[in-house]
Structure 1
Amino acid sequence: MKPVKDWFARLVKSDGIIGNGHFMVRYEDLPAIFRYWDNTYVFNTKRCIGLSLGNDPLSVVVLIYFIYKKINGYISSEILADKFPAFCDQILTLPDHLKEWRPDQLQLQLHDNPGWKTLKPGRAIKEFSGMILSSSGTTGKAKYIYFKHEDLLRNALNVVDRFGFSRGQRLFITVPVTHMFGLGVGVLPAVLASANIFLTGKANIIKFLEGHSVFTPHFTLVSPALCRMAITLKKKVHSRSLYISAGERLDTRSYEAFEDQFGELVNLYGSSELGAIATSPEGDNNKKERWEGALTPLQGIDIQLDKRYGEILCHHPASFTAYLDEEGCRMERSEWHLTKDVGKDCEANAFKVSGRIDHCVNRSGFLISLDEIESKLKGLFPEISGLIVFERPGDQNSGAEIIAVYEKSDAGGPSEEEIKLRSGKNLNKHLVPDAVYLVPEIKKLSSGKPDRNYMKQHITELAG
């Protein structure tokens, strides 16, 4: 995978912009902004600055500044600003209101991190030069993921090559830029290609449609949840955008409906540790493979399946360097990354993801992916906003029982009996839930993912 050279010089010579409908900054203005920050602030590059960022142009400019200047930064969202790890000595926040985009208006606010003082002598980060992201996974326990600046850029350049981003094109980002999908597939590839960036802070259907109307993007980054929301509009939107989603894969019915209403949707498989790993194929001739979840690795990335459990193993030449603990001490990684996803081989070097390895259960002799059941149920009931599936012990003959939990909707929605009836008619017998519960709300982790352990322990009282 080739190194990235002279990217900032190319960027500032382009006529591209970063905007959100309220404020806009031109790439050609970045040198003046950076000179002002150089003369106003002193960043200790041997330590780490916690970045409290949102989905706005100034946050993206800060990210570009830290990567270009090779300043150590821990990337976090505004809503998590009070939970910075101890290895950050300072926290950087942005002004609440901007009157205009003059350099002297772009005041960065630095605060001491109380957690830094709890570090034992000699425990601060050593030999560190890069950016840190966090991933809570499904347990809620934070993992701090350290990338060298250069590897982040090399990782992003692979995305540029895969999708063909180029100067003058427009990229619409509806997902958080503080997560690897928004940063490594959105912001950084657009910057390397000198493409225009348009952001929305709230990923709702109104902002989604407004952004398309105003920005007319060539590429749009979307979440599966936003795709399902868009399908419920039951209207066709004429757009030339290629849509890119990441995370859970849409079920075949929802995938087909979205493409019919909006346009081609590419599913991207990746992780916080590795960035983009593989994508579904494009083109009308590949619709069936795309809808059914076939994935092809990006250039230079190798995939293997563990022979015992089918776990997906990945070798990426521009992946993360190490995990860090709360105090910044390294926990080295292996050469081949264990994704904790179960996969299966397809034709022509392709593969499919069946689900998380810890979300698979034995049911009547079948190894069942709970993620696959969730996806199929979401396709059957697009009108339901929240849904999770988990297992609980069953008898010795049938194995684990499958439990489906839905969030109640203010607009009504199907009853528990209707859900059971429709599931029984449309799903294979071993995929049908044994019990269905409707609850007022599905508890979430700080990452926004469902807190499965809490829901499993308290489902009876919550549904009562």
Structure 2
Amino acid sequence: MEVAFDGSWLQKRSQLSPAKVAIIDGETGEQWNYKKLYNRTLIMADRLCQLGINQGDRVALLSPNDPSYFELLFACQAAGAIFVPLNWRLSEKELIYIMKDCEAKCVFVHPDYKEFVKNFPCETFPLEAQTDQESISAEISLGDSCTHAAIIYTGGTTGKPKGVILSHQNIASNAINTIISWGLSERDITLTCLPMFHTGGLNALSTPLLMAGGTVVIMRDFQKDKVIDLLNLYQCTVVLMVPTMYHMLIEQPDFIKESFPSMKTFLSGGAPCPLEVYEAFYKKGKLFKEGYGLTEAGPNNFYIDPTEAYGKKGSVGKPMMFNEVKIVRKNNVEAEPNEVGEIFLKGPHVFTGYWSNQEETEKVKCEGWLRTGDLGRKDEDGYYYIVGRAKDLIISGGENVYPTEVEQTISQHIAVKEVSVVGIPHPKWGEAVLAVVSLKSPASEKELTTFCSQRLGKYKVPKRFVFVKEIPKTAVGKIDKKLLMERYREIFLYEKERL
């Protein structure tokens, strides 16, 4: 699928739907229609030009979720610059590394983070309130659809963060594929509560809905007690959250009595979702489904009809209209139905490469396909399931243990609030299964071991359960397995004497 644009699709949308509400600031209630969004984009693009930003320069943004993300993203397109959203949860040292790595020309800083800028290696500018000008005098060149649009840095869970280059073509292709495959329209309204420095907050639903002429409500940061209020206040129809957010949502006292009258679909992504979340929405008669993606591809790749999702719990569905998927075993052999292998993706939404890192790019590109590093399987009906990260696979006594399967089992116990399963070095088995659990009511290690033994093969049953108040999360709300593996790395070494 080739997509070519003569100019900015936002300009076209502003002509088609000038008075339609495009963005609502959930913090202040301020609303921008498409005409205002486009005008503000041109004003910001003019400001970039006045600051000496040239074609290909990297322009960073350090801000909580805010309408300025779209303002600067589209302004960079108009000015031919490259947008670099920064993870505001990182340390100063980590932020400086990213700005040096991408050689940022400047960074725009939200007032909340003005104290961060003292040691930044580039020029810093405050985000300023704009007057609502009708037009600007400067001539603004429009970005080419084949040029770089953004660099989004990965979390760096396996080393230094890598800058994922997304072209205008990548972002537009993902948006079009999502609109067509998921059936989005100008009548849809979403609440963006995932961080917008992450592809899930920026590209999963927000950009596709703007292209479709819908409305994006921006939540400054995730607050479990405000989500229900905002979904109802603005009559949202679709929302994307990660499993940890859904955990907090369904535990809210107001969740039990809430009917979510306007909501059509609740969507989960970022990690396999516990089955209890499906049950919570099924009991309400509300549609709930899972998706799968990554910064390097999309992030949208699959579609499942929400009416089928409960019968196929845990499935992300089938490939969307304009991308391809395959499951590959060792030696590049395509897997048979229900065989586990690595997920390979192909399509115009797949990233250009890692910024200044050809070696890492070549590791994940394979004859036109993207090697995701994630494990999955496809059933006899063609529905795909995510098994987990290849690096998270546990090999215990020569047997493969997939953490997601064990986590899904443990999470069904009535006392379990949240669980993460990791492989820890073991003097006898090579690796052993460790379950880190937070509880919502009392339960013992013996009780959970018995529960698992009745449902899992012996080698899959955790050798130990560790109970914690809260399981640590990454900046985007995913469970931080790397931290857990480091924290409990030596837990089994002391058992050597008892073997």
Q: 2:178·2:300 contact (CA, 8 Å) conserved in 1? A: no
- Aligned mate of 1:369, from 402, 415, 431: 402
**Matches of 1:331 and 1:343, distance apart in 2:** 22
Where does 1:4-23 land on structure 2 (aligned, <5 Å)?
5=5, 7-13=9-15, 14=17, 15-21=20-26, 22=28, 23=30
Q: 1:404·1:437 contact (CA, 8 Å) conserved in 2? A: yes
Per the alignment, do residues 81 and 88 of structure 1 end up closer, same or farther by CA in structure 2, a change over 3 Å counting?
farther
Q: Which residue of 2 aligns with 1:28?
A: 35
Q: Deviations over 1:76-127 (max 9, x none)?
A: 2333383133123334334438xxxxxxxxxxx99994179xxxxxxxxxx9
Where does 1:382-401 land on structure 2 (aligned, <5 Å)?
383-385=416-418, 387-394=419-426, 400-401=431-432
Q: Deviations over 1:157-196 (max 9, x none)?
A: 1111112222242122221222112222122101111111
Per the alignment, do residues 362 and 377 of structure 1 end up closer, same or farther by CA in structure 2, a change over 3 Å counting?
same
1:88 aligns with 2:93: no
Q: Which residue of 1 aligns with 2:336?
A: none
Q: Give, in angstroms, the shift of residue 459 of structure 1.
A: 2.6
Q: 2:150·2:166 contact (CA, 8 Å) conserved in 1? A: yes
**Matches of 1:238 and 1:67, distance apart in 2:** 41
Q: Which residue of 2 aligns with 1:432?
A: 461
Q: Which residue of 2 aligns with 1:314?
A: 345
Q: In structure 1, what residue type is equivalent to 2:400?
A: L
**Matches of 2:490 and 2:400, distance apart in 1:** 30
**Matches of 2:297 and 2:395, distance apart in 1:** 30
Q: Deviations over 1:4-40 (max 9, x none)?
A: 5462233223212311331222221134323433443
Percent identity of paired positions between Structure 1 and Structure 2: 20
Q: Deviations over 1:226-261 (max 9, x none)?
A: 222223346153233211211212233432223323
Q: Which residue of 2 aligns with 1:288?
A: 311
Q: Deviations over 1:127-161 (max 9, x none)?
A: 97321011125325311101112221122111111
Q: Which residue of 1 aligns with 2:61?
A: 51
* TM-score normalized with structure 2 length: 0.77
Q: Which residue of 2 aligns with 1:346?
A: 379
What is the DSSP-based 3-state SS (H/G/I as helix, E as strand, rest coil) of the residue aligned with 2:99?
coil
- Aligned mate of 1:200, from 219, 237, 243: 219
1:235 aligns with 2:266: no
Per the alignment, do residues 420 and 202 of structure 1 end up closer, same or farther by CA in structure 2, a change over 3 Å counting?
farther
- Aligned mate of 1:76, from 83, 86, 110: 86
Q: Give, in angstroms, the shift of residue 344 of structure 1.
A: 1.8
- Aligned mate of 1:225, from 244, 254, 277: 244
What is the DSSP-based 3-state SS (H/G/I as helix, E as strand, rest coil) of the residue aligned with 1:220?
strand
Q: Which residue of 1 aligns with 2:161?
A: 142
Q: Give, in angstroms, the shift of residue 277 of structure 1.
A: 4.5
Q: 2:65·2:220 contact (CA, 8 Å) conserved in 1? A: yes
**Matches of 2:430 and 2:117, distance apart in 1:** 55
What is the DSSP-based 3-state SS (H/G/I as helix, E as strand, rest coil) of the residue aligned with 2:186?
coil
**Matches of 2:485 and 2:38, distance apart in 1:** 52
Q: In structure 2, what residue type is equivalent to 1:378?
A: S
**Matches of 1:232 and 1:399, distance apart in 2:** 38
RMSD: 3.3
Q: 1:269·1:278 contact (CA, 8 Å) conserved in 2? A: yes
- Aligned mate of 1:266, from 257, 266, 289: 289
**Matches of 1:35 and 1:110, distance apart in 2:** 26
What is the DSSP-based 3-state SS (H/G/I as helix, E as strand, rest coil) of the residue aligned with 1:235?
helix
Larger mean CA deviation between 436-445 and 244-253 belongs to 436-445
Q: In structure 1, what residue type is equivalent to 2:3?
A: P
* TM-score normalized with structure 1 length: 0.83
Q: 2:245·2:477 contact (CA, 8 Å) conserved in 1? A: no
Larger mean CA deviation between 88-97 and 156-165 belongs to 88-97
1:298 aligns with 2:303: no
Q: Deviations over 1:191-246 (max 9, x none)?
A: 11111111212223212101112011121111111222223346153233211211
1:402 aligns with 2:433: yes
Q: 1:156·1:184 contact (CA, 8 Å) conserved in 2? A: yes
Per the alignment, do residues 228 and 450 of structure 1 end up closer, same or farther by CA in structure 2, a change over 3 Å counting?
closer
Q: Which residue of 2 aligns with 1:106?
A: none
**Matches of 2:469 and 2:251, distance apart in 1:** 21
Q: In structure 2, what residue type is equivalent to 1:288?
A: G
- Aligned mate of 2:194, from 164, 175, 178: 175
**Matches of 1:395 and 1:301, distance apart in 2:** 44
- Aligned mate of 1:420, from 421, 442, 449: 449
What is the DSSP-based 3-state SS (H/G/I as helix, E as strand, rest coil) of the residue aligned with 1:380?
coil
1:154 aligns with 2:177: no
Q: Which residue of 1 aligns with 2:334?
A: none
Per the alignment, do residues 323 and 12 of structure 1 end up closer, same or farther by CA in structure 2, a change over 3 Å counting?
same
Q: Give, in angstroms, the shift of residue 319 of structure 1.
A: 1.2
